[in-house]
Amino acid sequence: MEKSLTQRMDWLHTWFGLVLGWLAFALFLTGTIAVFWLEIQHWAQPELHGAKMLSPEATVQYSVDYLQKVAPNSGRWAATLPDLDRHPLLVLNWLDENNAQQFVRLVPDGSGRKVTTVTNGGRFFVDFHWTFNREVADLSGRTFQWTYMLSGFVGMAFLICTITGLIVHKKIFRNFFTFRRQAKSMQTRWLDAHNVLGVLSWPFQFMIVLTGLAFYCYLYIPTGMQMAARSPSPPPVAVIGGGGPGMLWGRYASDAVGSVPRNIVEPGNPAPNVPIVDLFARARAQMGVLSSFTVNNPGRDNATVRFGGTRARPDAITFTSDSMTFDGATGRVISPAGNTTNAVQKITNVFGGLHFAFFGGTAMRVLYFLCGAAGTIMIASGLVMFTAKRRAKAKSVAARRFYDFVDRMNVASVSGAMFACASYLWALRLLPRDLSDPNGGFSGGVYASIRAVPLDQALRTDLELYTFWAAWGVAALHALVRAPQKAWAEQFAAVAALCIGLPALGYLVPNCDIGSMIAAGDWKMVAVDLGALSIGVMLACAAWKMSGKRAEVRASKAVAAPALQTAE
């Protein structure tokens, strides 16, 4: 008998959801955390905590003064300006007398203090979300790489699941507000939770997956890029912050130490230059928030000053790539703002803007976080429902074994991934700062990528990633050897303990305690701690419920009550 459309879609939804749901959960979880990746980056760099930051103009003046002091005769200065609202880190670059690139990370408070904690920070969650922390050798899509192809495949499967989910869910409007928490069947409770989470946040889930896929479609369907590789490519146009034409990624990473282009014009004669801070004010009036400036031949009669607008603006959904160049000696505009972007790039920019959620401020990011969390829990509830629905009906030994395996995999993927993320945050706080490589940085490609090096040679960034993967490995082993019901409760309790303990951990590290940060008004740092704390409390409640202790307490109360009444 031929199956109906609903039955066929049900099969697709179930099996795509199960097999790829294990990975999709981790991708959704890290994607959700990554909404606040710059805040986590700030949280992970204690030097920045509680500092009184300079205004944008004062920061530019401070940068120029610093560069004038350390490299007065340099052929090129460059600065990646801080995002004062989210991650206030100032990165200055210059070419030394041998035309070698030098850089320094500074706290933009005018004190001259350096940021020596080199960390993957929140960027880890972004990069795991699409590369599983494997380095992307070629972001132009000319070579095949399994990492982003796998995440793309999972994304495509999720997109299919969002559509098939609507088809198989027959009574969307009738059951729109239905969550039968006291239903006799465990399957009904999980189904209701899965449906409510999925239906209410459906527009978000569809949008976030579609934009994620569309943004990197040239990587997932690389034929065009491979065809283009056969033709001679145009010379790369390097800009501060990394990335070349068509590469959107590196430009808005505020911790990025971009490569300074080497094609320097011969220096002219010494001549007074227009103050850069004046040019900055003019550029900002035209382009809004600025993220970088580059000065060629500073202090010469052929000096040029280029200002880059920020890639991701708080006041527009779409990414932008505007810039403006001035003659440094006369202040004349050489290249005005308002660059031309082709139609494909414009559409990609909108997809990127929608996916990366840099717009709209903290309130918008809170909404992204909530909807992302809903998607994450929806995937977890779907995974749990798979066995809740089938286990009781399993007749053969093989079927029971398979459902047992699925149960264990569910624990390893859901609570294992959460345990790994929480452990990673502990590593960010506890790993000694002096393990950092002060010269470590990022110039193109992916920042939070894992390297295989012996432990005694590992840097802080390596150890952070090892902690994440080792924690996940331990959780997976635990899930394999422990009865699933107990493993769920124990791992949830462990994650809850790690999250609740995070604010307390700040008291062990200088300049990280939540009390002083509240006093200093550093709400970015405080919010990460309090966010972890509240998630920890929720997970602790879930662990308590899963452990069966709650049921025991209820039962003992029910037994105790009549005994007291009898005594009266």
Spell out the residues 6+ positions from residue 181 whose beta carbon is closer than 8 angstroms to its own.
189, 192
Residue whose CB is less far from another protein, 295 or 354: 354
* CB environment 294-305: b (16+ within 10 A), e (fewer): bbbbbbbbebbb
Among 162-170, 175-183, 474-482, 560-568, the segment contacting another protein (CB under 8 A): 175-183
Compare residues 201 and 296 and give the one whose CB is closer to another protein: 201
| CB 203, min distance to another protein, A | 5
Residue number, 378 or 543, with CB nearest to another protein? 378
Instruction: For residue 227, give the H/E element and its range.
Output: helix 223-229
Distance (Å, whole) CA 469 – CA 453 = 14
Which C-beta is closer to another protein: that of 172 or that of 265?
172
In whole angstroms, what is the distance from residue 42 CA to residue 86 CA? 7
Min dist CB 359 to another protein, Å, is: 6
**Residue 363 or 397: which CB sits closer to another protein?**
363
Question: Is the CA virtual torsion 91, 80, 466, 368 positive or negative?
Answer: positive
- 202-215 and 186-200 are packed helices; what angle lies between their axes, rounded to 10 degrees? 60
Q: Which one of the spans 17-25, 169-177, 319-327, 477-485 is the region binding another protein (CB under 8 A)?
A: 169-177
Q: How far is the CB of 196 from another protein (least distance, A)?
A: 5
HEC string of 521-546 equals CCHHHHHHHHHHHHHHHHHHHHHHHH
Q: Which two tokens stand for residue 59?
A: 């920061």
Report if residue 280 touches another protein, rule: CB under 8 A: no
Residue 145 touches another protein, criterion: CB under 8 A? no
Determine if 184 is a binding residue for another protein (CB under 8 A): no
Place of tokens 């879930």: 542
Closest separation in Å from C-beta 367 to another protein: 4
Task: Tell me, residue by residue from 490 to 529, as one string, x for binding to another protein by CB under 8 A and - for no binding.
Answer: ----------------------------------------
Counting contacts by CB under 8 A, is residue 544 touching another protein?
no
Residue keyed to tokens 């959620």: 357
Task: Give the distance from CA 162 to its chain's centroid.
Answer: 22
Contact flag: residue 380 with another protein (CB under 8 A): no
Please state the closest distance from residue 128 (CB atom) to another protein, in A: 23
- Residue 196 binds to another protein (criterion: CB under 8 A): yes
- Residue 25 or 368: which CB sits closer to another protein? 368
> Which residues, in sequence order, are bridge partners of residue 90?
106
Using the contact rule CB under 8 A, the part of the chain among 7-15, 51-59, 73-81, 368-376 near another protein is 368-376
C-alpha gyration radius of the chain: 27
Q: Of the listed pieces 7-15, 201-209, 273-281, 515-523, which binds another protein according to CB under 8 A?
A: 201-209
Footprint of another protein on 431-450 (CB under 8 A) = none
Tell me if 410 sits within 8 A of 384, measured CB to CB: yes
201 binds another protein (CB under 8 A): yes
Reduced to 3 states (helix: H, G, I; strand: E, B; else coil), residue 218 is helix
364 binds another protein (CB under 8 A): yes
Site for another protein in 294-333 (CB under 8 A): 316-317
| 270 bridge partner residues | 300
Write each residue from 20 to 59 as x if it is in contact with another protein (CB under 8 A), else as -, in one continuous string: ----------------------------------------
8 A C-beta contact, residue 109 and residue 51:
yes
Interaction mask 336-355, another protein, x per CB under 8 A: ------------------x-
Choices 8-16, 38-46, 198-206, 331-339 (CB under 8 A): range interacting with another protein: 198-206
70 binds another protein (CB under 8 A): no
Q: How much of the chain is helix, strand and coil, in % rounded to 5?
A: 60, 10, 35
Residues making up the chain, counted from first to last: 568
* DSSP codes of every residue in 326-350: EETTT--EEE-S-----HHHHHHHH
CB distance 229 to 142 below 8 Å: yes
> Phi/psi at 77 (nearest 5 deg)?
-115, 150
Residues touching another protein, count (CB under 8 A): 28
Query: Nearest to residue 116, comparing CAs of 430, 529, 440?
Result: 440
Residue 147 is a binding residue for another protein (CB under 8 A): no
191 binds another protein (CB under 8 A): no
Quote the least distance from Cβ 170 to another protein, whole Å. Answer: 14
Looking at the DSSP bridge assignments, the partners of residue 333 are 326
Residue ranges that bind another protein, judged by CB under 8 A: 174-182, 196-197, 200-201, 203-204, 207, 316-317, 354, 359-360, 363-364, 367-368, 370-371, 374
